[in-house]
Structure 1
Amino acid sequence: MASRVEKYLAHLDQLSGGREPRFFPVESTKQGLRGVTEIVYDNLPDGLLTALTYGLSLAEHPDWQHGSPELCLSVNSTNVTWAHAVGFLAEQLRGTCPFGYGSTIDFGERIVPESEMTAFCVFAPLVLGRGDYLGIDVGVQGHEGHDVINIQGMYPIHEAERQFINEHGPEAFWKSDWEPADVLRRPAI
C-alpha cells in the first residue's frame, strides 16, 4: 500500500510526464510535524521553474474543510530561491495561514535580489488544469476520514499590488494587465 507522500509524488509524476524533480528539505519548526519538502522542476513547462511543496498539508487549519493545501509556484526564472521562499512560507505559516484564494502574504523583503517583488498572492496554479490540482486523494489504509490535497498557486507580487488586492480584492487585480510568471515585471497597478 502506497504511503500518503508516495501517492502525492505519483500524482506529480503523472503530471510531469515522469520528469525527475530536485528535492529540497525544509526542517520543521513545528513540534510533532515533519518538515516540508520543496519539489522543483526545471524548465517545466518550457522556460518556467515550477516548485511544489509537500508538508503544508500535514498541519491542520479550521478553514481546511474540503482538503488541505500544498503550494505551487511557476516563474520565468532559473533562480531556485523562488522555490525556497515558498517552502519557507509553507513551513513557517502552516497551521496559522489558510492559504486561501485571494490571500496575500508579505515576505517582508525582496524574495530574490534581482526582483523587486516582496509578497505573494494565492490563487489557482498557473500551470495545472482544475482536475490536476483539486481533490487529490492521498488517503491511506487506516486513516480516518477523507485525506485530500488541493494544490494552491503562489504568485509573486509587488507591495503596491499586495495592498491593492487587500483593498479591492483579487478579482480586480486579476483583470489588470500583468504577466503572472514574469518576476522582473513592473507593478501592474
Structure 2
Amino acid sequence: MGFQYINFQDQQENAYCGGFVLAAMINQFKSLPPNKPYGTDIYHEVQHIQKTSLTGQRKCFIDKMSLYLHDHNIEGTYSLPSSIAIYAQQMGLNPTIHYNELKLRNVFSSISKDIKLKKLNVDVFIEEEISLANSFQIPVFGNAKNFFIANSIALVETGMHWIAIGNTEEKEDRKIYYDPWSTNEPIYEYSGINIALNKA
C-alpha cells in the first residue's frame, strides 16, 4: 500500500501532523475524495477525543506542551498516541499499538526537559496512555524493536512528529512513507511507538 494520492500537505508551522498522517492512511483503505483538507479536519477530531479524556499526567503534559508550542508560534497542540488510536478505531481501522518502553521513556523524558515540564512522571504518563487504549479494547504490545511496521503511523524525530508507513513490500513506483513536512524520504529517528492499522 503505497501513497499514490496524498491529501493537502502540511507545510505551515503547526502541530497537525497526526491528523495529516491519519488522513493519508484512511485514504489508503477508504479512498477519500481528493482536494479536501482532511488532515486539518481529522486533527481537530483527534483533539476533541483528546480533550474529553485528559486527566493526570496526560493532562499535565498536554497543558505544558500547548503553552510551549504557542510560545514558539506553532499552531495547535500535540496529538497523543492514545487519541490517534481511538480515532482510528472509530474509523474502523482496527489499530494496534506497538511500543518500546525504554525508548519511549527516554523520548518523553527528553521532551519534558525541552518544554521545562519538571513534574512529569514519565512512567505514570505511559501507563495512563496504555490504560486508556486498553479501556477501548485497543491491543497494546510492548518490547517493539523495529519501527518499520507496514501500514502504520510512527512517532519520530525525538517524539515531536508523526509519519505514515505504507506497505513495505510495494514496488518502487509507490511511495512507502508519507511525511506531512516533506516530500522526501529522509532517515527518521524512531521515537518508540507505532500504531498499526488494518481494515477488517
Give TM-score, length-normalised by structure 2.
Answer: 0.31
Normalized per residue, the structure richer in helix is 2
Normalized per residue, the structure richer in strand is 1
